[in-house]
Each structure stands twice: as C-alpha cells, then as structure tokens.
Amino acid sequence: MSNVNVLLSNEIEQILRNELPKCKTEVNIISAFCKVSTLKLLDLLINKNIRKRLLVRFLPSDILAGATDKEIYAYCIKNDWEVYIDNTLHAKTYIFDHIKCVVGSANTTDKGIGIAQQSNKEASVFFELNNEEYNKVISLYKDAIALNEEVYNEIINAKDDAVIKDNIKFKLFDKKIECLMPEDFPNELTDAVELYSLKSYRWLVSYLKGKTPKQAYFGEITLQIHDIFVKDPRPYRKDIKQHLADLLNCIKHLEIQTIAISRPNHSELIQYIE
C-alpha cells in the first residue's frame, strides 16, 4: 500500500465527490449503515452505465433505530444498484473501479461522510489498490447474500435480530445444496462478488470443509458434481469436467485465497484454506 492519505470528517465527502465521477466501470460501497438521502447524493455523482453494488448489514434493529432506512431496497432496485447483506458487517469501505479505495469509520450516512451540520468525528484512509489488496477488500462479500424481495420482507417483518440471523443464513447460505445447473457455474465475465454468490462455489467450499483433510482431487469432485447435477437432459461427464474446470479457472484468475489449487501428480488437488 502506497500514497496513503488520512481523511478526517468532511474530507471524506470531498474525496467521494472527486472520485465517484471518475469511475469508468464499477463502484462498490460497503457500509454497515446506510441512509437513502446519502446514497442518493452519492448516486448523482456516478455516471450512467457504471456497475453499482452496495453491501449493508440491514438488521431489524438497525432499521428500528433509524441507522439504516428500509427504503434502501426500493431505491436500489429502481436505480440499478445490486444490494447484498451481511448481518455481521461492521466495515465502511468505498471502492472506485479496481483502483482506489477509502477504508475507515465512515458509514454511508450524512453524519458519517461529514455533510450533516453536526457530523460524527470520523477517520479514514484513501489509497490506491493493487490486485491483492482489491481481492482482500472484495472478500468482504464472501459471506454476504443478495437482498431480494423474500429476504427483504422477512427482515422488515421481524422483531428479533437473532431469528433473522438464523433464518436467513440457513435459508440462503448454510442450506445444503442438493442440485447444480449450468448457470450455477462461472463464465469469463464472472467477478469475485458474483463468484462468492454462485451455488457451485458455495457447494465446493462446503464439500471441501466437510472432508478431513479439507481437500479433494479433480476426479473425485467431478463425480460428486455429476451426482447432484440436474438430470434432464442427462449430463455428459465431459461437460461436468468443463464446468468444474471453469470454476477452478475462475478461482485461480481471481486469486481467491480460501481455495488452493495445485497439481502434485497428474490430477489437480483442490484444498480449502482456513
């Protein structure tokens, strides 16, 4: 990490105003709390046809306390933001393309980024990212789930954070994956955030974590996928091998640190790394 600039309070707002209009491909906002008014302000700074993603905590207690607006979901759907949630999130991070980043204490709220009359006293750092650092920051999405209408309604109607944590994690993350289809595997355009959400990746992680040691060879994994792959039409073994190869190539290309791929013999060995 080089050329690190320390930002205090309203200096954070100024960096956001400077950097968001420069983005050419992608904006990622990761913030435990988020207010619609603040997101709208930042959204106005972003050019059209830029991919926009928001990761928030979005617990019932956050909404009840006014730390996060429940209207965030409707706003994002209407304005082409992809929304992810992780109920353990505490990070506050703003990523401009794959190049620059703000990391610190500033939530996406008026008080957080320093535009309220009585703002919080925040501290953040602004720096350029190398590929390894970018992958590390993006790994914050690893345990996140996409916010859809079903999950949104469950959160809005809940009165207990613990129930939501248990229900959502079981339903969308820890639930056993019993079937895989071609669309569950990555393609050449899949990025790290999308990979973390793919059923094939989550199945692979779950399968390896369930073994002692936490590893398996390519052939063994191919057989396991073949057993749970959609049977209509009946898949050819060569197609399953290609799907698995696509998944492993994506993991290698994106430098995913939790999966190690080596070739000690004639076959690839895939290991889960804690």
Do 145 and 233 belong together in one domain?
Answer: no
Complete DSSP assignment for 145-187? EE--HHHHHHHHH---HHHHHHHHHIIIIIS----B-GGGS--
Domain range enclosing 164: 5-171
Q: Are 9 and 122 in contact (CB under 8 A)?
A: yes
Residue 228 near residue 178, CB atoms below 8 Å: yes
The CATH number covering residue 215 comes to 1.10.10
Q: Quick one: 15 and 148 in the same domain? A: yes
pTM: 0.86
Identify the CATH number of the domain in which residue 68 sits: 3.30.870.10
Q: Measure the CA angle with vertex 209, ends 204 and 214; round to 5°.
A: 100
Would you write out the chain's pLDDT as a tens digit for each of its 274 residues? 558 899 998 899 999 999 999 999 999 999 999 999 999 999 999 999 999 999 999 999 999 999 999 999 999 999 999 999 998 899 999 999 999 999 999 999 999 999 988 889 999 999 999 988 999 999 999 888 889 998 899 899 887 888 777 777 656 555 688 899 999 999 999 999 999 989 999 999 999 999 999 999 999 999 999 999 988 777 788 899 999 999 999 999 999 999 999 998 889 999 999 8
The total domain count for the chain is 2
